[in-house]
Amino acid sequence: MGSVTQYPHLSTGAIDQIVVDGTRYKVMHLAGEHYAYGWSADELMHQHPDLKPEQVYAALTYFYDHFDEMVGHMQLLDQDLERRRKSQSISRAELLARRGQS
């Protein structure tokens, strides 16, 4: 029988719904900043001063324990965003032109 890993400071659930206890921060958000921008735990704490070190390290521990799954989810989100961007019927230039007219 396998053991279930507990993550103090995190409320677990679906991979994209795991939050840092007592906050609105999703682990996916912090993991994304760490993965995409290369932010260290110290930089994450600097960018989010309301988080405690133990909360940031718990989020990063969860990320690395579920690395392939989380990175795969991030890639799916990026692909979906790119697909939506390409299907946009109005260009950025058109939106900016409209903004200038108002």
For 28-67, what is each residue's pLDDT tens digit?
999 999 999 999 999 999 999 999 999 999 999 999 999 9
Please say if the pLDDT value at position 89 is more than 90: no
pLDDT reported for residue 22:
93
Instruction: Decide if 11 contacts 21 (C-beta within 8 A).
Output: yes
Top pLDDT among 87 and 21 is at 21
Which residues fall within 8 angstroms of residue 27, CB to CB, at 6 or more apart?
A: 10, 18, 19, 20, 59, 62, 63
